[in-house]
Amino acid sequence: MSLLEPWMMLVVSMVIFGIGLLGLLIRKNLLVMLMCVELMLNGVNLSFVAFSKIHHSLDGHLAVLFVMTVAAAESAVGLGLVIALFRTLRTVDSDQIQILRD
Amino acid sequence: MMADLEMLRPWIFLASGILLTLLISVIRTESKRPAQISALLTVLGTAIFSFKSPPSEAVFLFSGALEVSSLSLFALGGMSVLAAMFILGTGHYLTREKIHISDYYHLLLILVLGGSVLVASRNLLLSFIALEVMSLPAYTLVGFRRNDSRSNEAALKYFILGGAMGAVFLLGSSFIFGATGTLDLSAVFTESKGGTSLLLQLGHLLVVLAFLFKVAAAPLHFWKPDVYEGAPTPVTGIMATIITSASFLGLIRLIHMIDFSSPGTVGYLELMKSALRVAAIASLVVGSSVMITQRSLKRMLAYSSITHTGYLLLGVLGAFDEKVGITSVLVYLLGYCVMSTGAFVLLTLAKAPADTGTELIDLTGLIKRSPFLTFLWTVFFFSMAGMPFTVGFFTKYSVFMASLGGGETVLVILAAICTVVGAYAYLRAIALMTMRDAAPAAGDWEFSPGSQIVAIVAAGFVLFLGIIPNAMIQYLKGIPLIH
């Protein structure tokens, strides 16, 4: 019996995903929201590894590598958008960015 | 192995074209014309390759991850044609808004590549990557007017929500992987023959949720009007056509990855159907009721496309009963893409000031200023309202029939009521053009040969398919969803 059971990893991964989701919903700083999206992706990564361990399959590990690549590309695009927004509006507070509405 | 590469020819051509366009835009930074021509030739070549030799049966490549079938090639060809129409028809808008730079074109091509792989994918990991390859260029294209805070806000809104829904998609995939031990969709199909576990159902629901967000079905539609309004108009059109069709075809593929004919899935089938029913009803009601209150033409078209999502979901609900449904969804998507392309290309002609966007008031008295534009707008508005002799009538008719076949009588009656409510908005816009004098605040409309041609072609298709729909329906009937 190993010290680290897969279900423990799953619990941790769901907690990380939950923190990311919660942070996305309650935090107002765009940079923090960006980090929360990354946190959600990393939480899922951990769950892929845990399921991989359960099924003795390498597919999950492979998925993690691809997801990390995509997450890196995504954060590059996201940071670019935040910088462009900061240039025009001089703020990264999502409460003050409400030009578009019905 | 050579035969495999032969099958992939359209995708390889598209990918090479992307690299060439990227190379050109790096070398020739001062002129956008070479990149534009390269992108146009790329999409036209891709369309020719994908329509030229449709395979008689599906071929699965890369350990079954990619499906080369009549459906995936039809999607690739269709998206390439749509991209070509937007490249041809919207250059003047980019020049006017001072965002006509060559980077626009390879981003657009990457978006088409992602969307077409999303339709062809039979593996959840490949689907996720394709979804992101489609979405990342879309985020940047939405924020392309980078000195305009509205464009920036729209891009960031789309990015944060899209990124979060991408994570939800991935969480669902991970649950499916946990339940079945594989990310291969056909294996999931086999696995679910004996019934579905709770983990599989939860994962499946999360993935479907992420797709419902991408197609902006209510109650996950709230981002759509804002993003549509803030984005440059050609990009709005590309989102309304290419991204919507790719996401819808991906959604149908995912829904059918569970074998609903097996007795163990009856409870889950009902759950899935009621979730889609709620989304369809909400999209129809929200879309058509909010549409009639809009003053901005672009927002009105955004709510109109939410309504169209509702009708498409009717077709998806009908698709649970075998092949009638998928044909009706394809018919609807084709008609919807043609009329949306025309409408958004026309919209790029409006010389609205950047801080207000295109208002409905810009349409007033258009018949005196430009009878021809009025005629084109009338064709597209009639088609969106579902009037006879336009393609919009037959697309609505076919999803209603498919949905009735699936036993959704109440839903179809509700959809018919929403059609009437929605028709009021379109007819009001037509009345503004023909019966009113131009308001003092009404914006001018530009003249541009490229977009006139594209709009005429689109209007021609709307009328041709509306009067002679049989050829289209017969052709689309030959495209099966599942092999």
What ipTM did this prediction achieve? 0.96
pLDDT confidence of residue B226: 93
- Contact with chain A for residue B170, Cβ under 8 A: yes
CB nearest A57 (choices: B148, B181, B294): B181
Inside any domain, residue A102: no
Within a domain: B95: no
Domain range spanning residue B373?
Answer: 283-483
In the beta sheet, which residues pair with residue B121?
A: B66
Of A20, A81, A89, nearest to B159 by CB-CB distance is A81
**Which of B153, B163, B174 is closest, CB to CB, to A48?**
B174
pLDDT tens profile B121-172: 999 999 999 999 999 999 999 999 888 889 999 999 999 999 999 999 999 9
Conformation bin of residue B296: beta by default, left when phi > 0, alpha when psi is -120 to 50: beta
Q: What is the pTM of this model?
A: 0.94
**Is residue A1 assigned to a domain?**
no
List, as ranges, residues 402-421 from B with C-beta within 8 Å of A: none
Question: Which pLDDT belongs to residue B136?
Answer: 96
Chain B: give the shortest CA distance to residue A2, in Å: 20
Sign of CA dihedral B201, B166, B13, B72: positive
Does B181 sit within 8 Å of A77, measured CB to CB? no
Residues B311-342 as b or e (16 or more Cβ within 10 Å = b): bbbbbbbbbbeeebbbbbbbbbbbbbbbbbbb
Q: How far is B81 from chain A (nearest CA, A)?
A: 27
Domain tally, chain B: 1
Q: Does the beta-carbon distance from A87 to B299 stay under 8 Å?
A: no
> pLDDT truncated to tens, each residue of chain B (483 aa)?
556 778 899 999 999 999 999 999 888 777 888 999 999 999 999 999 999 877 777 888 888 889 898 889 999 999 999 999 999 999 899 988 888 888 899 999 999 999 999 999 999 999 999 999 999 999 999 999 888 889 999 999 999 999 999 999 999 999 999 999 999 988 888 888 877 889 999 999 999 999 999 999 989 999 999 999 999 999 999 999 999 999 999 998 888 888 887 888 888 889 999 999 999 999 999 999 999 999 899 999 999 999 999 999 999 888 776 656 688 899 999 999 999 999 999 999 988 766 667 888 888 888 888 899 999 999 999 999 999 999 999 999 999 998 888 888 999 999 999 999 999 999 999 999 998 888 887 888 888 899 999 999 999 999 999 999 888 888 888 787 665
| Residues in chain B closer than 8 A to A78 (CB atoms) | 139, 159-160, 163
What local confidence, expressed as pLDDT, does residue B482 receive?
Answer: 62
* Residue A32 contacts B where some CB pair is shorter than 8 Å: no
User: A40–B152: do the CB atoms touch at under 8 Å?
Assistant: no
* Residues of chain A neighbouring B163 (CB-CB closer than 8 A): 34, 37, 74, 78
Top residue of B127, B136, B152, B289 to mutate, by most chain A CBs within 10 Å, is B152
Which of A43, A74, A99 shows the shortest C-beta gap to B153? A99
Contact A66 B125 (CB under 8 A): yes
* Residue B343 covered by a domain: yes
- Give A-chain residues touching B128 at CB under 8 angstroms: 66-67, 70
CB contact under 8 A, A74 and B152: no
- pLDDT given for residue B56 in this prediction: 74
In a domain, B194, yes or no: no
**How distant is the Cα of A23 from the closest Cα of chain B, in angstroms?**
11
- Kindly determine whether residue A84 and residue B146, on different chains, have CB atoms separated by under 8 Å: yes
Contact state of B149 with A89 under an 8 Å Cβ cutoff: yes
Report if residue A16 sits inside a domain. yes
Confidence of residue A1 (pLDDT cuts 50, 70, 90): low
Yes or no, beta carbons of A85 and B152 under 8 Å apart: yes
Judged by CB atoms within 8 Å, which residues 36-95 of A form the interface with B?
37, 40-41, 43-44, 47-48, 50-51, 54-55, 57, 59-60, 62-63, 66-67, 70, 73-74, 77-78, 80-82, 84-85, 87-89
- Interface residue B163 vs chain A (CB under 8 A): yes
CATH code for position A42: 1.10.287.3510
A60 chain-B contacts, CB cut-off 8 A: 174, 177
- Is the CB of A77 less than 8 angstroms away from the CB of B171? no
A26: DSSP letter: H
pLDDT of residue A48: 96
A42 is in which domain, residue-wise?
A: 6-96
- Helix or strand or coil: residue A93? strand
Å between B174 CA and nearest CA of chain A: 6
Q: Is A6 on the interface with B (CB under 8 A)?
A: no
3-class secondary structure per residue, chain B: CHHHHHHCHHHHHHHHHHHHHHHHHHHCCCCCHHHHHHHHHHHHHHHHHHHHCCCCCCEEECCCCEEECHHHHHHHHHHHHHHHHHHHHCHHHHHHCCCCCCHHHHHHHHHHHHHHHHHHECEHHHHHHHHHHHHHHHHHHHCCCCCCHHHHHHHHHHHHHHHHHHHHHHHHHHHHHHHHCCCEHHHHHHHHHHCCCHHHHHHHHHHHHHHHHHCCCCCCCCHHHHHHHHCCHHHHHHHHHHHHHHHHHHHHHHHCCCCCCCHHHHHHHHHHHHHHHHHHHHHHHHHHHHHCCCCEHHHHHHHHHHHHHHHHHHHHHHCCCCHHHHHHHHHHHHHHHHHHHHHHHHHCCEECCCCCCCEHHHHCCHHHHCHHHHHHHHHHHHHHHCCCCCHHHHHHHHHHHHHHHCCCHHHHHHHHHHHHHHHHHHHHHHHHHHHCCCCCCCCEECCCHHHHHHHHHHHHHHHHHHHCCHHHHHHHHCCCCCC
Cβ-defined contact of B183 to A101 (cutoff 8 Å): no
Of A20, A51, A100, the CB nearest to B153: A100
Q: How far is B181 from chain A (nearest CA, A)?
A: 6
Shortest Cα distance from B125 to chain A (angstroms)? 6
Q: Are residues B174 and A47, on separate chains, in Cβ contact within 8 Å?
A: yes
Pick from B129, B153, B168: CB nearest A85: B153
Q: What's the confidence (pLDDT) of residue B440?
A: 81
Q: How far is B404 from chain A (nearest CA, A)?
A: 35
Domains: count for chain A: 1
In a domain, B442, yes or no: yes
> Chain B, 285-304: which have a CB under 8 Å from a chain A CB?
290, 294, 299
- Comparing CB atoms, the residue among A17, A34, A74 nearest residue B136 is A74
pLDDT, chain B, mean = 90
